Structure 1
Amino acid sequence: MKSAIIGSLLGILTVVVSATPNPIAGSDTVVVRDPAIWYNSGSKKYFVFSTGNKINIFTSSAITGPWTNVGSVLSSCSVINLSGNCDLWAPDVNFLDGLYTLYYAVSSLGSQNSAIGVATSPSMEPGTWTDLGQVISSKTGDVFNAIDPNIILDPVGLQLTFGSYWNGIYQVGLWPGVNNQASPTPGTHLAGYNGRPAEGGFVYKPASQSYYYGFFSDGITPLVGATSRPPAGQEYKVLVGRGAAGQGPFYDQLGNDITLDLNPPTGTLVLGSHDNVYAPGGQSIFEDPVSGRDVMVYHYVKLSDPVGGPSYLGINYLDFSSGWPVVVA
């Protein structure tokens, strides 16, 4: 009897510990892919940028919404002379040298003929963005794909993380400007390997930790119009490793470098499918100056929707107090 009671208590404890909070209220009607978030302390508005409409711009006075689509970043398309320069992907936003700075990808589905560009703005509002053009590019046969940009300013300098599928996620330095490549591609290998569906690399250092964290999305992301879903466990999810520097190497909780081809695959789970949230990923993380908390935004599909439906904006808080990012209410 005692063992049965202990077993029941352990089962209850497991449920409590493993429960993942749902996205915070206010964003589950906002259709996005690959969202990035920032805050303008002057206008006291949050901005979310996403794939589509030459980079969609959504704004809100509160992180809980309501969110309003106010236009696009590059309404006249990108100056990059490449197929897909009006269908811009995967924005990443930061504040650098007194300007809001947004990196974006130009490509077409499944192609390596890709480029990453950058635009700057004094306010993030539509109509204020200046397109500085190409930063890096890739072509068929390269070991990397120049999409899914992410920027971090660390003690070494400005670092651009990028890559999707192919041989994984990489990083190069930028100097002296936000659009000047300072080191050759492919650069430092941060995550993934040939044949692994790893993309959306995002390097982040919370103020509370000495570690840098290398987030990435792993698995198959459902697209609008899809007719089926991947086998259970193979759908999109957010994984992470951590390291002592913004250039890696990053290790998961088992101590494995997240570039290694191992079984089970490397990377510690941050956010996977749960409740009505299916295939979350395309993540971006920032420190919210209003609440002082670390915030992750991402897209996900509602499990209750028909297969092939849209993806929505998810927002959650992250807690790093254990040394690893944990999704919390």
Structure 2
Amino acid sequence: MKCSIIIGSLLGLLTNKLVAATPNPIAGSDTVVVRDPSIWYNSGLGKYFVFSTGSDIAIWTSSAITGPWTNVGSVLPSCSIINIAGNCNLWAPDINFIDGLYTLYYAVSTIGSQNSAIGVATSPSMMPGTWTDLGEVISSVDGDVFNAIDPNIIDDTVGLQLTFGSYWNGIYQVGLWPGVNDQASPTPGTHLAGYNGRRAEGGFVYKPASQPYYYCFFSDGITPLVGATSRPAAGQEYKVLVGRGADGQGPFYGELGNDITLDLDPPTGTLVLGSHDNVYAPGGQSIFADPVTGRDVMVYHYVKLSDPIGGPSYLGINYLDFSSGWPVVVS
């Protein structure tokens, strides 16, 4: 009995240590209400920019990654030129710097619909009033195996690759060239993650400078929405998972060696960030190599566990350490 008590105490201490080891979001962003944030830095202006779902892609700026953050306007305040439902309520921005212009991909859709499209806009500075909407890149309709939302762009060894998809049969990728809005390979393209029936979305492919690998991050589970009256069963809420591969087109594998497109139990993918402390259901992530700090940064949204059910989601920012070969959230 005494031995059991000692072992139980040690396991409890270990569990508490592991739970406490997940850092909370860095200071300065816990009042910023966002969904699906994406981040970049303009060195000429000395400002960070965060873009988020809603308000025709809301723009937040700060002179420091620790804030304070100021809402300065929208990317496309007159709506997207893509003529489908939802073109004035744009989703899931993804920002990058391509061929001398800041380039932002966005999604047009309505909740639960496959009548969706991904568009792209460019700017010389990222400031409001400077964006040119280039319109549709790819689209989907009812009956497709994919949904054309949640875009992410990576410029890898074979050129621009657009990752996209949510639920349905998973997350896919097609090539773009010669331009940022020129589809070069047919949809659905390469299957990167998820499968029919899995709640997997928000794919984001990233290669840290410190590693030879590419990493496919994705959000898995149920994301709480404003106005919800209940929360999903414990463990079924949003979380950030990842797979690792030799190039940006996959295949990607979790730490157990399983392809993240496979329907297995337990589900494939390695946990990067889940609920902890007052952070509930983190997801909608994007990753960024910060030229100021020289560190890999992940931004995401989360719900405060202490808030009433159905409340808003907030901006989370954390550093990532890839030194083990896998992304670990660190202070």
TM-score normalised to structure 1 length: 0.98
Residue 244 of structure 1 aligns with an amino acid whose one-letter code is A
CA distance in 1, matches of 2:15, 2:311: 32
Residue aligned with 1:116, SS: strand
Tell me the residue number matched to 1:151.
Answer: 153
Q: Which residue of 153, 171, 174 maps to 1:172? A: 174
Residue 151 of structure 1 aligns with an amino acid whose one-letter code is I
1:75-132: CA deviation from partner (whole Å, max 9, x where unpaired):
1100101111111000000000000000000000100000000000000000000000
CA distance in 1, matches of 2:224, 2:182: 34
Residue aligned with 2:275, SS: coil
Residue aligned with 2:55, SS: coil
Q: How many residues align?
A: 329
Residue 232 of structure 2 aligns with an amino acid whose one-letter code is P
Residue 308 of structure 2 aligns with an amino acid whose one-letter code is P
Cα offset for 1:12? 3.0
Residue 76 of structure 1 aligns with an amino acid whose one-letter code is S
Residue aligned with 1:151, SS: strand
Tell me the residue number matched to 1:68.
Answer: 70
Listed as ranges, the matches of 1:175-194 within 5 Å are: 175-194=177-196
Tell me the residue number matched to 1:217.
Answer: 219
Q: Which residue of 56, 59, 62 maps to 1:57? A: 59
CA distance in 1, matches of 2:208, 2:145: 31
Root-mean-square deviation (Å): 1.2
Q: Which residue of 125, 142, 152 maps to 2:144? A: 142
Q: Which residue of 20, 28, 49 maps to 1:47? A: 49
Residue 53 of structure 2 aligns with an amino acid whose one-letter code is T
Could you list the runs of 5+ residues in structure 1 that have no partner in the other structure? none
CA distance in 2, matches of 1:273, 1:3: 29
Q: Which residue of 298, 314, 318 maps to 1:312? A: 314
Cα offset for 1:259? 0.2
TM-score normalised to structure 2 length: 0.97
Residue aligned with 2:16, SS: helix
Q: Does 1:15 align with 2:16?
A: yes
Cα offset for 1:142? 0.0
Listed as ranges, the matches of 1:81-230 within 5 Å are: 81-230=83-232
Residue 324 of structure 1 aligns with an amino acid whose one-letter code is W
Cα offset for 1:17? 3.8
Cα offset for 1:16? 2.5
1:249-288: CA deviation from partner (whole Å, max 9, x where unpaired):
0000000000000011101000000011000000000011
CA distance in 2, matches of 1:2, 1:95: 59
CA distance in 2, matches of 1:7, 1:228: 33
Identity over aligned pairs, percent: 87
Tell me the residue number matched to 1:273.
Answer: 275
1:162-218: CA deviation from partner (whole Å, max 9, x where unpaired):
000000000000000000000000000000000000000000000000000000000
1:15-55: CA deviation from partner (whole Å, max 9, x where unpaired):
33442100000000000000000000000000000000000
Residue 330 of structure 2 aligns with an amino acid whose one-letter code is V
CA distance in 2, matches of 1:6, 1:85: 58
Residue aligned with 1:16, SS: helix
CA distance in 1, matches of 2:86, 2:254: 35
Residue aligned with 1:80, SS: coil
Residue 120 of structure 1 aligns with an amino acid whose one-letter code is T
